[in-house]
Structure 1
Amino acid sequence: MVIFLFKFIAYVSRNHSYRYKRARCSAQGGLLRGHTYLLVGVAGSGKTILSIQWLLEGVKNGEHSMFISMAEPADQLQANVSGFNWDLSGIRIVDLSPNGKPEVVEEYHVLTPEEAEPGHTWQAIYDAIEQFDPQRLVIDSVTFMSYLSTDTFQFRKQLLAFVNYLKGKRCTAFLIYEPEEMSRDASLPLTVDGVIMLRKTLSSSKVLDIRSIEVQKLRGRDYWSGLHPLRITQEGIIVHPHLIEKMHTPSLSNAKISSGISRLDEMLHGGIEVNTITLLTGPTGVGKSSLAMQFALSAAREGRKVVYYSFEETPEFMILRAAGLGQDIVPYIDKSLIQLRHINPLELYPDEFLNMIRSDATANTSVLVIDSIRGYRLAMEQFGDMDAHIQNMVNFLKTAGITAFFINELEYISSTAIRLTELGISFIIDNALLLRFAEYKGSIIRIIGCIKKRLGSFEPEVRELRMDKNGLQLSDKLPCCSLFGGTVGETTIAS
């Protein structure tokens, strides 16, 4: 779920953290009428875009909106946002920027700058507000307003009087400010009712910009703390809030999802319990994705809605691969029971991806596949600690009652030091199926075993997994096979 900034600062629904209260800027939530907020950010962070977007929302609500520009001419301002196809005719733009002609400034020897240059600009601001009586106001920027005062103390005094003036007129205002200026005058945030920081930083590997928003202060309102990723799109700024999911597991049922493979279901004593997280782990090419698709197909046959996220393959490739193994998933795609989605690396923030999953949950998705956890990590690692994001995602899935299959690729085809995952997330999963290669009578075979099943029993045995045009099949139990020791009779794990 994506929300715009003016719907972002709102109370969090305590009962269902994935359902946002999309309160607008009103007394019920969001920005308080008559309050003044600092909008802080470096050049290019989106301050002007965000503020105009907020004013346009006011126009849509029938409110008088005004933009006072002290930095750039009005025509330049409109040119800078022309790519959004916004109609700014409903916004009163007051141009107090320099006229562009160089002026010869002589040094004042007797009078102070304030005495020689009365506060014409301050008066022009007050006059414009009195004339138009805006309910929403943006001043770009308060940094230029500070230049109109003789010293810092005088500026604080003037700004405090201005904030109180706006409060008396019940005018909500954004004052755009530079972070360098705020660091030099730490007392300025005390004057206003809220501080909203826009950030733009390079990722750790310096391959992309990471944009985020942080609410540092907000009088009279609750808000989501921390950094929240944002994107600048043709619609404007879209925020993807980072919410810490609290696990509230719904009532557990005895229902299970069958694999559709009789001998595998026998091994699992009926299948995989619903509302659990299953890890399918093994080296590349061993059949993890095909097995996940088999579970997805079986769930769709039972009428469950499935979403398959792939960080490695396109939907066309997945359909072709499934067809080669006798898995006809096209009819279920046509019925919207199976949805295949390819996620490009570096395309989404982790919270943006989780919002997609939240949206799927509201559309009655009951089974989800992520292929693969390594692909997810490689795609998202530029944005912070992946273990924390994965844990947050698992908490949401369990709260939403979704059954999930995580595919994990082990780096080594053969190894006597078996680990479920090399990413350190095995503690969050409920079930684990380990797939490996073995060499048997001069041939490479696949073997499979269940090594963890938190909510039910299973057969602790090893079987051969066969894959051909007729589908996936399991052999009888291999009595002389060691899944961990790497032997099948007199053979050894492929090396």
Structure 2
Amino acid sequence: MENQNSDTFRRLSTGVPGLDTVLAGGLTRDRLYLVEGEPGTGKTTLALQFLNEGVRQGESGLYITLAETAVELRAVAAAHGWDMAGIAIEEILPDENSLAPDQQYTIFHPSEIELGLTSQRIVAAIERTRPVRVVLDSLSELQLLAENALRYRRHVLALKQYLSSRCCTTIFLDDRTALSTDLQVRSVAHGVITLDVAHQAYGGERRRLRVVKYRGIAFAGGAHDYRIATGGLRVYPRLVAAESRVSDTRRQLSSGLASLDQLLGGGLEEGMSTLITGPAGSGKSTLSTQFVAAAAARGEPCAMFLFEESRNNLLNRSDALGMNLSGLVRGGLLTVQQIDPAELSPGQFSQAVVDAAGDGARIIVIDSLNGYMNAVPDERFMATYLHELLTYLGQRGVVTIVVAVQSGVLGHQYGSSGVDASYIADNVIMLRYFETQGTLKQAISVAKKRGSSHERTIRAFAVEHQGVAVGHVLQDFHGILTGVPRILPAAALNQPKAAED
């Protein structure tokens, strides 16, 4: 008998991208873990990743299956590109001869015979293969064979002690298909991981992983999004901005337009978030693109995430305005990702944004807030998701620009959700339509700016063939923000200006 590991810092990688981060480094060696979830949540895939990671680390693995055949397991592995070399599979399945009437037990209950035989085969397989990593699939079969809770618990405890004595790091899978929900193994296991899948009214399922317990380890609590794709599971750890606080000197980034920089008090500060609001067609996306084009032209990497406009349309439209986004993309200074909110979970999107910041992006554009809200199933937490994301990017010194569409041509409310994110952003730039002399004009103003002082004026704004144009102060009008201003009389225009704050 070998000595069981007593050091919690000796860890094994799970082989699942993102899961080791949630587990604060991986699984403590020589312990028993429970992975539970309904059929279809990815338990078998996770277990195969765990064993394949062991093979990559030079560790032997054993998969004990009480439900699936070896052929089925190898087919699952092949679908993910794994050959299962170096992983032993032990099938402990009822023989087809048990269907014959003369093979049915008449004196003893099946559990009295089959549970003992199953345990013998498990022990024999472990003694034969001497594995470092073990998977047992699934506990539901053992629970049914044990018949009662006392016998089941004692059997699991005995298995735990035996596996620990053999220095095995073990994962038990539970598909919750037994006759009753049992929490016995949760109390016995060193750690418990739960996989859940929520079926939404539209779009793909939303899968979430939660670490219920992990003795002695400060794991990342809460729900973490994950997905199953070719190559296995990928977990997207819940973003916690407080864990990444940094401080450094912040500089202003120019928009590339002198008049716009003047309105903004010099430009946008690093680490600040900016909300650009306005009705549809008022130039919000084009204005955000102006900041990106100017930064990328200076050699600063940028990233754009599009929820509404297609990537191709954005590039073509921006190129027509002389911004040359296509050239910046080809040069590697700009990445443009088109997001499908029906297929992307909030965790996946946050991870994509975090990766862009990690790759060095100095300006990140989210276009638009309305599309982002559609990616968050429960809008009660939309502000929390957004706050964590903007705070994280701010602590990384990234300039974040969020576009928000307001309802109605002259309206002042956000889309149908009625959620106002302006209090979260550090800066707010407003674009407005206003009508004068039978013509629809545009105006721009800065309603809020935390990084520096700024103009309190309302200026003319237009998107022309040469790009964005910020014009003179609209001092001849009163009530522009209402959408239907009136022209001031000449006498009023000649009055001395009031002192500014």
Partner residue, 1:218: 214
Stretch moving more, 443-452 or 340-349:
340-349
Which string of whole-angstrom CA distances, capped at 9 and with x for unpartnered residues, describes residues 3-34 of structure 1?
Answer: 9765645467xxxxxxxxx98xxxxx311221
- Once the two structures are TM-superposed, the CA of residue 404 in structure 1 deviates from its matched residue by 1.0
Partner residue, 2:152: 155
- How far apart, CA to CA, are the structure 1 residues paired with 2:147 and 2:308? 61
Instruction: Describe how 1:227-242 pairs up with structure 2 within 5 A.
Output: 227-242=223-238
Q: Cα 1:248–1:114, aligned 2, differ >3 Å: closer, same or farther?
A: closer
Stretch moving more, 334-343 or 281-290:
334-343
Instruction: Describe how 1:367-446 pairs up with structure 2 within 5 A.
Output: 367-381=363-377, 385-415=381-411, 422-446=418-442
Partner residue, 2:276: 280
Q: Cα 1:263–1:488, aligned 2, differ >3 Å: closer, same or farther?
A: farther
* Alignment counterpart, residue 138 of structure 1, candidates 130, 135, 140: 135
* Alignment counterpart, residue 362 of structure 2, candidates 366, 375, 397: 366
Partner residue, 1:178: 175
- How far apart, CA to CA, are the structure 1 residues paired with 2:80 and 2:19? 23
Paired residue type of 1:194:
G
- How far apart, CA to CA, are the structure 1 residues paired with 2:340 and 2:111? 57
User: SS of the residue aligned with 1:179?
Assistant: coil
Q: Cα 1:59–1:278, aligned 2, differ >3 Å: closer, same or farther?
A: same
- Once the two structures are TM-superposed, the CA of residue 482 in structure 1 deviates from its matched residue by 2.6
Instruction: Describe how 1:17-416 pairs up with structure 2 within 5 A.
Output: 29-101=25-97, 102-104=99-101, 106=104, 108=106, 111=108, 113=110, 119-149=116-146, 151-179=148-176, 181=178, 184-203=181-200, 205-246=201-242, 248=245, 250-253=247-250, 255-381=251-377, 385-415=381-411
- Once the two structures are TM-superposed, the CA of residue 447 in structure 1 deviates from its matched residue by 0.9
For the 8 Å contact 1:277–1:404, the answer to whether it is kept is yes
- Once the two structures are TM-superposed, the CA of residue 242 in structure 1 deviates from its matched residue by 0.9
- Once the two structures are TM-superposed, the CA of residue 113 in structure 1 deviates from its matched residue by 4.7
Q: Cα 1:460–1:347, aligned 2, differ >3 Å: closer, same or farther?
A: same
Which string of whole-angstrom CA distances, capped at 9 and with x for unpartnered residues, describes residues 203-226 of structure 1?
Answer: 2x2542111211112123231111
- How far apart, CA to CA, are the structure 2 residues paired with 1:159 and 1:348? 39
* Alignment counterpart, residue 484 of structure 1, candidates 478, 481, 495: 481
Identity %: 30
Stretch moving more, 147-156 or 57-66:
147-156
Q: Cα 1:52–1:434, aligned 2, differ >3 Å: closer, same or farther?
A: same
* Alignment counterpart, residue 451 of structure 1, candidates 442, 447, 450: 447
Partner residue, 1:18: none
- How far apart, CA to CA, are the structure 2 residues paired with 1:259 and 1:180? 59
For the 8 Å contact 2:373–2:379, the answer to whether it is kept is no
Q: Cα 1:129–1:473, aligned 2, differ >3 Å: closer, same or farther?
A: same
Q: Cα 1:293–1:466, aligned 2, differ >3 Å: closer, same or farther?
A: same
Which string of whole-angstrom CA distances, capped at 9 and with x for unpartnered residues, describes residues 293-351 of structure 1?
Answer: 11111112222211111112223211221133232333333332222221123232212
Backbone CA RMSD of aligned residues: 2.6
User: SS of the residue aligned with 2:194?
Assistant: strand
User: SS of the residue aligned with 1:365?
Assistant: coil
- How far apart, CA to CA, are the structure 1 residues paired with 2:356 and 2:414? 32
For the 8 Å contact 1:324–1:468, the answer to whether it is kept is no
- How far apart, CA to CA, are the structure 1 residues paired with 2:344 and 2:115? 51
Partner residue, 1:26: none
Paired residue type of 2:148:
D
For the 8 Å contact 2:15–2:53, the answer to whether it is kept is no
Partner residue, 2:493: none
Which string of whole-angstrom CA distances, capped at 9 and with x for unpartnered residues, describes residues 9-67 of structure 1?
Answer: 5467xxxxxxxxx98xxxxx311221111121111111111111111111111111111
For the 8 Å contact 1:311–1:375, the answer to whether it is kept is yes
Which string of whole-angstrom CA distances, capped at 9 and with x for unpartnered residues, describes residues 132-184 of structure 1?
Answer: 11111111112212233353212211221111111111111111113354963
For the 8 Å contact 1:6–1:30, the answer to whether it is kept is no
User: SS of the residue aligned with 1:358?
Assistant: helix
Q: Cα 1:214–1:379, aligned 2, differ >3 Å: closer, same or farther?
A: closer
Partner residue, 2:5: none
For the 8 Å contact 1:314–1:341, the answer to whether it is kept is no
Partner residue, 1:472: 468
- Once the two structures are TM-superposed, the CA of residue 202 in structure 1 deviates from its matched residue by 0.9
For the 8 Å contact 1:349–1:383, the answer to whether it is kept is no
- Once the two structures are TM-superposed, the CA of residue 252 in structure 1 deviates from its matched residue by 4.0
Q: Specify every segment of 5 or more residues in structure 2 that has no aligned partner in the other structure, as ranges.
A: 1-12, 489-501
Q: Cα 1:86–1:118, aligned 2, differ >3 Å: closer, same or farther?
A: closer
For the 8 Å contact 1:462–1:481, the answer to whether it is kept is no
- How far apart, CA to CA, are the structure 2 residues paired with 1:232 and 1:336? 29
